[in-house]
Amino acid sequence: MQGVQEQIEELQMKLAFQELTVEELNQEVIKLNRLIADQQHQIQLMVGKLKSMEPSNIATQAEETPPPHY
């Protein structure tokens, strides 16, 4: 049977490990949030560019040349 002091030391070691793990996970979450924010910004830029395109650049379905097998 372990002594009370040994049990306390073991719990302190486990707590220290858990604190380190939580901090590492927190840093990963921060990185992922930044990545998501950057990607959302890039998507917004792309949507803006697509919306600003001249409609004449895109042929309507009626204007499309039919494939050769027709």
pTM of the entire predicted model: 0.60
Contacts of 10 (CB under 8 A, 6+ apart): 2
pLDDT in single tens digits along all 70 residues of the chain? 679 999 999 999 999 999 999 999 999 999 999 999 999 999 999 999 888 876 665 666 666 777 787 6
Look-up: residue for tokens 């009370």? 4
